[in-house]
Amino acid sequence: MRLAAARLPLLLTALAAVLASVYFKVPPLLSLAAFLLIALATAMAPRQPRNGRRFSGGARPRILWPDTGMKAVAQSLPHPTFILDTGGIVRFANAAASQAFAQARAGDALSMTIRSPRLREALRLAAAGQETTFEFRERSGAELVYVVSVRHVHHAAASGPFILVLFEDVTERQAIARMRADFVANASHELRTPLAAVSAIIDTLRGAAKDDPVAQDRFLAIMHEQAERMRRLLDDLLSLSRLEMRAHQRPSTQVDLGQVLRRVVDGMKPLAADLGVAISLDAEGEPLMVLGDEDELHQVFENLIENGLKYGSSGERLEVAMKRIPSAAGGLVVASVTDFGPGISKEHLPRLTERFYRVDVASSREKQGTGLGLAIVKHILTRHRARLDIDSTLGRGATFRVSLAAAEAGPEAQPPSGGQVGAQEPAEV
Ligand SMILES: Nc1ncnc2c1ncn2[C@@H]1O[C@H](COP(=O)(O)OP(=O)(O)O)[C@@H](O)[C@H]1O
Ligand SMILES: [Mg+2]
């Protein structure tokens, strides 16, 4: 077979041997011996592998490409996923991977584009058949945290051994865990302060103030105040936890928002009078029906109006207004609470609905605030698929605007999007 394969060079060699004998007087026996020697060498030379022929030395490994089934599985994964060969070269990147790591393309070494010593080590281990999982922080732009799984993949039907690298984005999960821990720390701290005050007073009543009825009265009044503060805090915490449990159930009863506002405003009149603030209510086109939970909507406007009175009392005026805005989707009912106090500077606005977030902690405590009022408002509005917008100009006051779908519109009507202060996304904690 080898001789047949080399027939052309052998034929030329034979021709050369004949010509050498005829024209250059080489002895015919010598020519024949030379030809036979070459033919023998040809017959004994090892055959080159077919697919090795394309490479210069035949020493480079064969490139393996993942088969269609394997790629289809990787493509269907929601997480950025790469298929590498055992040399660490990307052979396939699914859509999520191309989006998250655009610079890592097929044909490139993954560890050159995603630079992490742990990834390099994991790839080395995976090539030897070992599985690894590690955390990877990507610091370009907003920091993202991934849990990376590196696995050796090989089965009889596949075209060869591969390494599967899967990036699971855990940024949000970690942020929620951190918020939860912060929340417990904040709540404990808020409860510990009045508790410490009460304990200290009990010691004083037992000791120094034992026989001093005047001091005793004063201390009991402080104890009462601190106990009330703890009660308010526990009430708010329970409200939040109840709201969280019902976060995904949208209320379905028809409520007249005009009536709710009138009741809240009436209830707030004594506080307004104490603070020297005049409240006005402008509720045109009553009744304005919305789908909601009456008690919860009451709580929303109680919080907003109380804040306006307490924090905006220097403006001496508070305007509560409500109107219906017709739209293709069936219309909105927009209720607003505007005060003319000191206002809130821009950097605080996006954070106001966070739990325990206060612009001025001392002023909030002094005004019997828990820092949970607007967090409760946000939770209630999220459940109602409603929106909260906050506008404020420093020194001029603040407007808190609630947009709810009008009841006649049916449950599908949605408030328009844009510019809202986080009332639409679900509860984080
Ligand atoms: N109308 C307002 N004017 C100025 N600041 C406000 C107003 N409403 C809320 N704030 C600020 O937002 C913070 C959070 O409000 P809230 O969640 O109701 O908590 P608090 O229990 O302190 O009232 C308040 O502590 C206050 O600093
Ligand atoms: Mg409040």
Say if residue 144 is in the same domain as residue 183: no
Residue 82 DSSP SS3: strand
**What stretches of 49-207 show up as alpha helix (H) in DSSP?**
68-76, 95-100, 110-113, 117-127, 171-206
Q: Are residues 100 and 163 in the same domain?
A: yes
Q: Which amino acid is at 191?
A: L
Nearest to 375 by CA among 312, 428, 308: 428
- Identify whether residues 150 and 190 lie together within a single domain: no
Which structure tokens are listed for 224?
């009462």
Give the Cα separation of 382 and 428 in Å (integer).
Answer: 11
- In tens, the pLDDT along 93-143 reads 999 999 999 999 899 999 999 989 999 999 999 999 999 999 999 887 788
User: Do residue 281 and residue 330 come from a single domain?
Assistant: yes
Q: Is residue 425 part of a domain?
A: no
Q: Does the residue 97 lie in any domain? A: yes
Residue closest via CA to ligand 1's atom 8 equals: 307
Amino acid type, 347 = E
- For the Cβ of 235 lying below 6 angstroms from any atom of ligand 1, the answer is no
271 and 375 part of one domain: yes
pLDDT in tens, 203-259: 999 998 889 999 999 999 999 999 999 999 999 999 999 998 888 889 989 999 999
Whole-number Å distance between alpha carbons of 30 and 21: 9
Residue 418 maps to a domain: no
Is residue 414 a part of any domain in this protein? no
Q: One-letter amino acid identity for 165?
A: V
Residue 365 CA to ligand 1 center (angstroms) comes to 11
List the domain range (segments joined by +) for residue 139: 68-169
Within-domain flag for 78: yes
Judge if 268 and 375 occupy the same domain: yes
As given in the structure block, the two tokens for residue 382 are 């999220």
Residue nearest to atom 14 of ligand 1 (CA): 358
Query: What does each C-alpha distance from 392 to 303, 346, 357, 397 come to in angstroms?
Result: 17, 8, 17, 6
The DSSP 8-state label assigned to residue 287 in this structure reads -
Domain finish residue from 215, 245, 275: 245
What DSSP letter does each residue of 240-252 carry, written as one string?
HHHHHHTTT----
Ligand 1 touching residue 379 (CB < 6 A): no
Same domain, 264 and 228: no
Strand order in the sheet with 332-339: 278-283, 317-325, 332-339, 397-405, 387-393
On whether both 210 and 231 belong to a single domain, the answer is yes
360 lines ligand 1 (CB under 6 A): yes
Cα 311 to ligand 1 centre (Å): 7
Structure tokens at 81: 């996923």
Which among 303, 340, 364 is the best mutation to test ligand 1's pocket, defined by most ligand atoms within 8 Å of the CB? 364
CATH for 192: 1.10.287.130
Q: Is residue 417 part of a domain?
A: no
pTM for this prediction:
0.68
Task: Identify residues whose C-beta is under 5 A from ligand 2, the ion.
Answer: 307, 373
Long-range interactions of 87-96: CB distance < 8 A, separation 24+: 87/61, 87/127, 88/123, 88/127, 88/163, 91/64, 91/65, 91/66, 91/162, 92/65, 92/66
- pLDDT on residue 423: 44
- Out of 142, 169, 196, a domain closes at 169
Closest residue CA from atom 13 of ligand 1: 358
Distance CA 137, CA 116 (A): 9
Q: Are residues 198 and 257 in the same domain?
A: no
Distance between Cα 185 and ligand 1 center (Å): 21
What's the CATH number where 286 sits? Answer: 3.30.565.10
pLDDT tens digit at each of 429 positions of the chain: 667 777 777 788 888 878 878 888 888 888 888 888 887 877 776 655 444 344 344 445 567 788 888 899 999 999 999 999 999 999 999 999 999 999 998 999 999 999 899 999 999 999 999 999 999 998 877 889 999 999 998 876 667 789 999 999 999 999 999 988 999 999 999 999 999 999 999 999 999 888 999 999 999 999 999 999 999 999 999 999 999 888 888 998 999 999 999 999 999 999 999 999 999 999 876 688 999 999 999 999 999 999 999 999 999 999 999 999 887 777 899 999 999 999 999 999 999 999 999 998 888 888 888 999 999 999 999 999 999 999 999 999 999 999 999 986 444 445 544 445 544 443 333
* 395 within a domain of the structure (yes/no): yes
Same domain, 191 and 333: no
Could you give the CA distance from residue 104 to residue 97 in angstroms, rounded to a whole number? 8
| Cβ(226)–Cβ(194) below 8 Å | yes
Residue 321 has what DSSP assignment? Answer: E
314 shares a domain with 236: no
Q: What CATH number is given to the structural domain containing 88?
A: 3.30.450.20
**How many CB atoms are closer than 10 A to CB 384?**
23
Domain count within the chain:
4
The alpha carbon of 115 and the centre of ligand 1 are apart by a number of angstroms equal to 45
Ligand 1 atom closest to residue 372's alpha carbon, by position in its atom list: 17
Is 360 inside a domain boundary?
yes
The answer to whether the beta carbons of residues 293 and 333 sit under 8 Å apart is no
Instruction: Estimate to the nearest angstrom the gap between the alpha carbon of 10 and the chain centroid.
Output: 73
Please check whether residues 6 and 78 belong to one and the same domain.
Answer: no
Please identify, among 245, 270, 295, the residue that sits at the C-terminal boundary of a domain.
245
